[in-house]
Chain A
Amino acid sequence: MSRDRAIDELIACWGEPHRVRAFMGTHRFPLVEGHLVTFVFIGNVDGVNLRHWVYGLESSTTLTRAPNTDIWHLTLEIPPSSRVEYKFEIEKSGHREWIEDPLNRARARDPFGANSVLQGAGYVVPEWTRPDPLARQGDLEPFHLESRAFGGRRGGHLYLPARFRRSRQYPLVVVHDGDDYIHYAEMMTVLNNLIHRLEIPEMLVAFISSSDRLREYADNEAHARYVTEELLPYIGRHFPLIDQPHGRALVGASFGGVASFSTACRYPGVWGRLLLQSGSFAFTDIGKRNRRGPLFDRVVEFVNGYRAEPKAVSQRIYVSCGVYESLIYENRSLVPLLDATGMQVRFTEARDGHNWQNWRDRLREGLSWLFPGPLLFVYE
Chain B
Amino acid sequence: MSTHTPRSVVLLGAQRFEPTLGSVVDQLGVRGRIALITAGWQEREAEDEELSAHLGGQTVNLSLHARGNTVFAADHELSVAHRERQVLLRHLQEIYRIRLEHAFEAEREVAAYDAPAAIRDEVRQSSIEAIRTLDAWHVDHCLRVHDEFERKHKVASRPEVQRQREEIARALSDCTALAIAGGHVAVLLNRLDLFDLHELIGDHTVFAWSAGAMSVCDRVVLFHDDPPEGRVARQVLDVGLRLIPQAIPLPEPERRLDLAVTERVTLQARRFAPSLCLALPARSYVIWQGARFVAAQGAIELCATGETRPFALPATMKRASDSSPPDSLHAPIEAHDKPEATSTSTRRRKASEPRGTGKQR
A377 to B43, CA, bound (A): 16
B227 touches A379 (CB 8 A): no
A365 touches B183 (CB 8 A): no
A364, A375, A380: the one within 8 Å of B210 (CB): A380
B229 touches A369 (CB 8 A): yes
A364, A365, A368, A377: the one within 8 Å of B184 (CB): A377
Contact with A along B229-261 (1 / 0, CB 8 A): 110100101000000000000011000000000
A380 touches B185 (CB 8 A): no
* Closest chain B residue to A364, Cβ basis: B228
- For the complex, is B68 an interface residue (Cβ under 8 Å from A)? no
Residues of A within 8 A of B232 (CB): 372, 376
- For the complex, is B304 an interface residue (Cβ under 8 Å from A)? no
A46 to B211, CA, bound (A): 68
Number of interface residues of B (CB under 8 A): 24
B184, B223, B230, B235: the one within 8 Å of A378 (CB): B184
B183 touches A379 (CB 8 A): yes
A199 touches B183 (CB 8 A): no
Contact with A along B174-211 (1 / 0, CB 8 A): 00000000111110000000000000000000000011
A379 touches B43 (CB 8 A): no
- For the complex, is A165 an interface residue (Cβ under 8 Å from B)? yes
Residues of B within 8 A of A43 (CB): none
A260 to B138, CA, bound (A): 36
- For the complex, is A131 an interface residue (Cβ under 8 Å from B)? no
- For the complex, is B131 an interface residue (Cβ under 8 Å from A)? no
CB-CB under 8 A for A368 and B227, given A374-B184, A379-B252, A380-B182: yes
B222 touches A377 (CB 8 A): yes
A38 to B208, CA, bound (A): 57
Residues of B within 8 A of A369 (CB): 229-230
Residues of B within 8 A of A379 (CB): 14, 182-183, 185, 210-211, 214, 251-252
A375 touches B211 (CB 8 A): no
A380 touches B228 (CB 8 A): no
A169 to B182, CA, bound (A): 23
B229 touches A380 (CB 8 A): no
Residues of A within 8 A of B211 (CB): 378-380
Contact with B along A88-105 (1 / 0, CB 8 A): 000000000000000000
Residues of A within 8 A of B227 (CB): 199, 368, 372, 375-376
Residues of B within 8 A of A372 (CB): 227, 229, 232
- For the complex, is B16 an interface residue (Cβ under 8 Å from A)? yes
- For the complex, is B224 an interface residue (Cβ under 8 Å from A)? yes
Size category of the A interface is 10 to 19
Residues of B within 8 A of A163 (CB): 43
A377 to B211, CA, bound (A): 8
**Nearest chain B CB to A218 CB, angstrom units:** 31
Contact with B along A145-188 (1 / 0, CB 8 A): 00000000000000000010100000000000000000000000
* Closest chain A residue to B15, Cβ basis: A380
* Closest chain A residue to B16, Cβ basis: A380
Residues of A within 8 A of B14 (CB): 379-380
A90 to B229, CA, bound (A): 44
A199 to B226, CA, bound (A): 11
A80 to B186, CA, bound (A): 42
Residues of B within 8 A of A365 (CB): 228-230
**Nearest chain A CB to B193 CB, angstrom units:** 16
Residues of A within 8 A of B229 (CB): 199, 365, 368-369, 372
Interface residues of B in 1-60 (CB under 8 A from A): 14, 16, 40, 43
A194 to B251, CA, bound (A): 21
CB-CB under 8 A for A377 and B182, given A199-B228, A365-B228, A372-B227: no
Most B CB within 10 A of own CB, among A194, A199, A380: A380
A372 to B214, CA, bound (A): 21
A380 touches B183 (CB 8 A): yes
B183 touches A165 (CB 8 A): no
* Closest chain B residue to A318, Cβ basis: B229
Residues of A within 8 A of B228 (CB): 194, 199, 364-365, 368, 375
**Nearest chain A CB to B232 CB, angstrom units:** 7
Interface residues of A in 88-126 (CB under 8 A from B): none
Residues of B within 8 A of A374 (CB): 184
A378 touches B16 (CB 8 A): no
A374 to B232, CA, bound (A): 13
Residues of B within 8 A of A377 (CB): 184-186, 222, 237
A380 to B229, CA, bound (A): 20
Residues of B within 8 A of A194 (CB): 228
A194 to B228, CA, bound (A): 10
* 16 pairs from A and B in contact (CB 8 Å cutoff): A163-B43, A372-B227, A374-B184, A375-B228, A376-B222, A376-B227, A376-B232, A377-B222, A378-B40, A378-B184, A379-B182, A379-B183, A379-B185, A379-B210, A379-B211, A380-B182
In the complex, the 8 A-B pairs of residues with the closest C-beta atoms, listed nearest first: A379-B210, A368-B228, A369-B229, A368-B229, A379-B211, A376-B222, A199-B228, A379-B182
Known: A199-B229, A365-B230, A374-B184. 4 other contacts (CB 8 A): A365-B229, A368-B228, A372-B232, A377-B237
Q: Which residues of A contact B (CB under 8 A)?
A: 163, 165, 194, 199, 364-365, 368-369, 372, 374-380
